[in-house]
Structure 1
């Protein structure tokens, strides 16, 4: 096995969200859960421009880390690479500054459904772009689906109240 450079180690650690991507079962689900648990402290309190800036930074860093991790690990979108789940999950929560626990839970479930089922154009985004860009893009599209459904549910509940 070739020696990893410090940048390879950093990229892999970022792409796997440290140890979370190495959990033995369902690393993507664990990554999404970690994102939801962290969101009320690290993401939701930010102003809208701050949330967008964080998402942009996660996307750029995640694209680089995923591309490099694919080369280091020798696989296309390895299961342990889960920074894309963080990006997609936080994208699903973008429009909310604060939310009750059941909204967070619903956002988690909606994102996982779209990430796993990969309706068009989620699957297309995964294959249309090379390397880390495709890894990040498909979760971004799944996050947009979840965001839309979560916002629609919020709107309907607000109208009924």
Structure 2
């Protein structure tokens, strides 16, 4: 887990936090994600997946479930091609939201920041649709497997691209796009048989 140097995250000392020991023996204070903290800035609301990232158990999985639900609901009102614009805009907004939230928390990619899972799973659903519930559920399982296991080169990008600012938030978003790619690859292979 990468973090800003102590004192670099504005407001971090004013909120309850847990000490974390880093590889080099440094310590940093991490803000506990709460609804109050989330509603303190629009970027946090987005990065936390409108509250889905506040789940005490499996926030990445809950965020992906939120992405699935939001995709199904939004798809009732839009044409499928509109998703390209929504995903592109969601990715760009995610760069800002994750960079700002990481700065406020003092951690580059806290588990409660689930916007990356949401946008990446939208990509998966865009390309596997139309499919029924079980096809969508299989896509969900494969995506979560790749996101958690982080096979190469996902693990490499997960470790090397994350950092401060927009470039660091690109790393936060990018590793989940790779998990989406692997999921789509599995579906392409499955459909080719």
Alpha-carbon separation, structure 1, partners of 2:90 and 2:40:
17
Range with bigger deviation, 91-100 or 43-52: 43-52
* Residue 109 (1) aligns with residue 146 (2): no
Name the one with the larger strand percent.
Answer: 2
Instruction: Give the Cα–Cα distance (whole angstroms) in 1 for the partners of residues 142 and 77 of structure 2.
Output: 21
Q: Which has the higher contact order (CA 8 A, sep 6+)?
A: 1
Give the superposed CA RMSD.
2.2
In the alignment, is residue 149 of structure 1 matched against residue 182 of structure 2? no
TM-superposed CA distance for 1:46, in Å, is: 4.6
5 Å matches for 1:1-40?
A: 2=11, 9-40=41-72
Give distance in 2, aligned partners of 1:47 and 1:151.
23
Which of structures 1 and 2 has the bigger CA Rg? 2
1:56 aligns with 2:88: yes
Whole-Å separation in 2 of the counterparts to 1:69 and 1:91 = 23
Cα offsets for 1:94-125 (capped at 9, x unmatched): 22342100011000000001000101111222
Q: Residues 138 and 43 (structure 1 numbering): CA distance in 2 closer, same or farther, change over 3 Å?
A: farther
**Structure-1 separation of matches of 2:76 and 2:146:** 21
Deviates more, 1:145-154 or 1:23-32: 145-154
Structure 1 residue 76 and structure 2 residue 108: aligned?
Answer: yes
Instruction: From the superposition, tell whether residues 152 and 46 of structure 1 become closer, same or farther in structure 2 (CA, over 3 Å).
Output: farther
List runs of 5+ in structure 1 lacking aligned partners: 157-161
Q: TM-score, normalised by structure 1?
A: 0.85
Unaligned residue ranges in structure 2 (runs of 5+): 1-9, 15-38, 162-166
1:45 shift after superposition: 7.0
CA distance in 2 between partners of 1:44 and 1:107 (Å): 20
In 2, distance between residues paired with 1:45 and 1:134?
Answer: 32
1:39-50 correspondence runs (5 A): 39-43=71-75, 46-50=78-82
Once the two structures are superposed, what CA deviation does each residue of 1:47-97 show, in whole Å capped at 9, x if it has no partner? 453222111111101111011100011112001100001011111122234
